[in-house]
Amino acid sequence: MTDAALRERLIVGLDVPTVQIAEQVVSELGDAVSFYKIGYQLAFAGGLGFAGDLVSSGKKVFLDMKLLDIDNTVAKGVENIVKMGVSMLTLHAYPKAMRAAVEAARGSNLCLLGVTVLTSMDEQDLIDAGYEHDPHTLVLIRAEQALAAGMGGIVCAATEAEAVRRIVGPDLAIVTPGIRPAGADAGDQKRVMTPADALGSGASHLVVGRPIVTASDRKTAAEAILAEMSNA
């Protein structure tokens, strides 16, 4: 795999409070990183405009909005997100919402990702939320539903990537957060895996936030993770 192809599989999570900090992160990482995730924290601090700036500069953007609403609202939101030129968008993997989003994005290059079970959740968390399934079972059910809906990929913990790959086949994206370099602290994530192990398990893209963004030398941290990925 070429260095450029490898970089396209690493998505750095810009989970920072301001656009100014995000700009600094992107500047420090330079050509080492070509793909960035923007989630709630940055989105509500000017990050949606910043997403457009990243796209204009040649970077790829994963907009992590985890949409879920009535069909028409999801569809109208997706129609406008398509116009932003971002590469990936998340929505919760509910069948009706996924079908509405797929129809709204038809003909575009936007890869729609179904969020299965958040990597911060374990079995007790799901019980508390009223679900009858354990995380692994629910992930597999939602993977099947996402495939049936025509989604572009799945978001799941790397620990579920191998089982999900068997369901969705070779073509769909499997994007895995909760990635931690060997020896790193898991933080608030409950289902984590190293970069090499995640790719070896079937993940197509790895989302890495704090291990890079909070590092004293961000570019070196990113390059170390890319080196781990190259060993997969």
CATH number at residue 187: 3.20.20.70
Considering the candidates 59, 66, 134, 219, report the single residue annotated as catalytic: 66
55, 91, 63: which is closest to 207 by C-alpha? 63
Report how far residue 123's alpha carbon sits from residue 151's, in angstroms, rounded to the nearest whole number: 26
210 marked as part of a ligand binding site: yes
C-alpha–C-alpha distance, residues 220 and 218, integer Å:
5
Q: Angle CA(76)–CA(13)–CA(8) in degrees, nearest 5?
A: 85
Q: Is 134 a catalytic residue?
A: no
* 60 has binding-site annotation: no
The catalytic position among 3, 31, 59, 64 is 64
Q: What percent of the chain has pLDDT over 90?
A: 78
Does the annotation flag 191 for ligand binding?
no
For this structure, is 3 an active site residue? no
67 marked among binding-site residues = yes
pLDDT of residue 94: 96
pLDDT at 31: 94
Residues 6 or more apart whose Cβ sits within 8 Å of residue 118: none
Give pLDDT tens digits for 152-208: 999 998 889 999 999 999 999 999 998 878 655 545 545 568 898 999 999 999 999
Is 121 one of the annotated binding-site residues?
Answer: no
Question: pLDDT-based confidence at 2, cuts 50/70/90?
Answer: confident
Identity of residue 142: R
Q: What span, in angstroms and rounded, lies between the C-alpha atoms of 83 and 131?
A: 35
Is 65 annotated in some ligand binding site? yes
Per cent of the chain over pLDDT 70 is 95
Does 217 appear as a known binding residue?
Answer: no
Indicate if 69 belongs to the active site. yes
Per-chain mean pLDDT for the chain: 92
Which residues constitute the domain of residue 84? 3-230
- Is the pLDDT reported for residue 61 higher than 60? yes
Q: Is the pLDDT of residue 70 over 60?
A: yes
Tens-place pLDDT, residues 114-142: 999 887 888 999 999 998 888 889 999 99
**For position 179, what pLDDT does the model report?**
87
Q: How many domains does the chain have?
A: 1
209 is in an annotated binding site: yes
User: Annotated catalytic residue: which of 69, 125, 134, 197?
Assistant: 69
The answer on pLDDT for 232 being more than 60 is yes
pLDDT for 182 equals 64
Euclidean distance between CA atoms 38 and 41, whole angstroms = 8
